[in-house]
Homo-oligomer: A and B are copies of this chain.
Amino acid sequence: MAELKFIALSGTTGATENLYVYEYGNDMVVVDCGVGFPDPEMLGVDLVIPDFDYILKNKNKLRGIVITHGHEDHLGALPFLLKEVQAPIFATRLTAAFIEDKLADYGVKGVRVNVMDPDRAIATKLGVFNINIFRVSHSVPDAVGLAIETPQGVLMHVPDYKFDWSSVDRKPFDVAKAVSLASKGVLGLASDALGSTNPGHTESESVLEERIEQVVSKATGRVYFTTISSNISRMQQAIRAAEKNGRKVAFIGRSMEAKAEIARRLGYLNYGSNIEMNAHAAARAPRNKILYIISGCYGQAGSALHRVAEESHSFLKIEAGDSVVFSADPAPPGSKVKVDYIVDRLLELNVDVHYYDLQEDLHVSGHGSQEDIRFLFGLIKPKYFIPIGGTVRHMRAYSLLAQGLGNPANSIFELMPGDSIIYENGNAKRGKRIPVRDVLVDGLGVGDVGNIVLRDRKILSQEGFVVALIQFDKAANKIAGNPELITRGFVFEKDSKAVLQKGVDRVMEQANRQGINTHRLKEIVVDTLEHFFFDEIGRRPMILPVVIEV
Contact = CB atoms under 8 A, between A and B. Distances in A.
Contact of A448 (B486, B491, B534): B491
A107 to B, nearest CB: 13
A182 interface: no
Interface string A391-411: 111011100000000000000
Contact of A344 (B393, B445, B542, B548): B393
B393 A337 contact: no
Given A13-B344, A44-B463, A544 B488 contact: yes
A465 interface: yes
A461 interface: yes
Given A13-B344, A344-B391, A486-B546, A457 B449 contact: no
B457 A491 contact: no
A60 to B, nearest CB: 28
A197 interface: yes
A39 interface: yes
B397 A358 contact: yes
Interface residues of A, number: 69
A461 B44 contact: yes
Nearest to A199: B359
A340 interface: yes
Contact of A340 (B199, B393, B467, B491): B393
A442 interface: yes
Contact of A44 (B348, B464, B486): B464
A453 interface: yes
A476 interface: no
A340 to B, nearest CB: 7
B538 A489 contact: no
Interface in A30-58: 39-40, 43-44
Binding site of A, secondary structure by majority: helix, strand, loop or mixed?
A: mixed
A106 interface: no
A422 to B, nearest CB: 22
Nearest to A534: B443
A538 B444 contact: yes
B337 A333 contact: yes
A391 B110 CA distance: 52
Nearest to A392: B344
A509 interface: no
A467 B13 contact: no
Nearest to A454: B489
A435 interface: no
Contacts of A469: 546, 548
Interface in A185-201: 197-199
A488 B460 contact: yes
A462 B467 contact: no
Interface in A155-202: 197-199
A444 B358 CA distance: 40
A450 interface: yes
A393 B334 contact: no
Interface string A463-495: 111010101000000000000001011111001
A418 to B, nearest CB: 14
A550 B465 CA distance: 26
Contacts of A1: none
Contacts of A488: 456, 460, 465, 542, 544
A453 B44 contact: no
B537 A444 contact: yes
Nearest to A488: B456
A357 interface: yes
B548 A471 contact: yes
Interface of A: 13, 39-40, 43-44, 197-199, 333-334, 336-337, 340, 343-344, 347-348, 355, 357-359, 391-393, 395-397, 416, 442-445, 448-450, 452-454, 456-465, 467, 469, 471, 486, 488-492, 495-496, 534, 536-539, 542, 544, 546, 548, 550
Given A44-B489, A347-B392, A443-B537, 11 more contacts: A40-B334, A348-B416, A355-B393, A443-B534, A448-B496, A453-B489, A456-B464, A456-B488, A460-B461, A461-B461, A465-B465
9 A-B pairs closest in CB distance: A443-B538, A461-B461, A444-B538, A460-B460, A44-B462, A456-B489, A344-B392, A457-B489, A443-B539
14 contacts: A43-B489, A197-B357, A333-B340, A343-B393, A442-B538, A445-B491, A445-B538, A453-B489, A457-B461, A460-B464, A460-B488, A465-B465, A471-B548, A486-B544
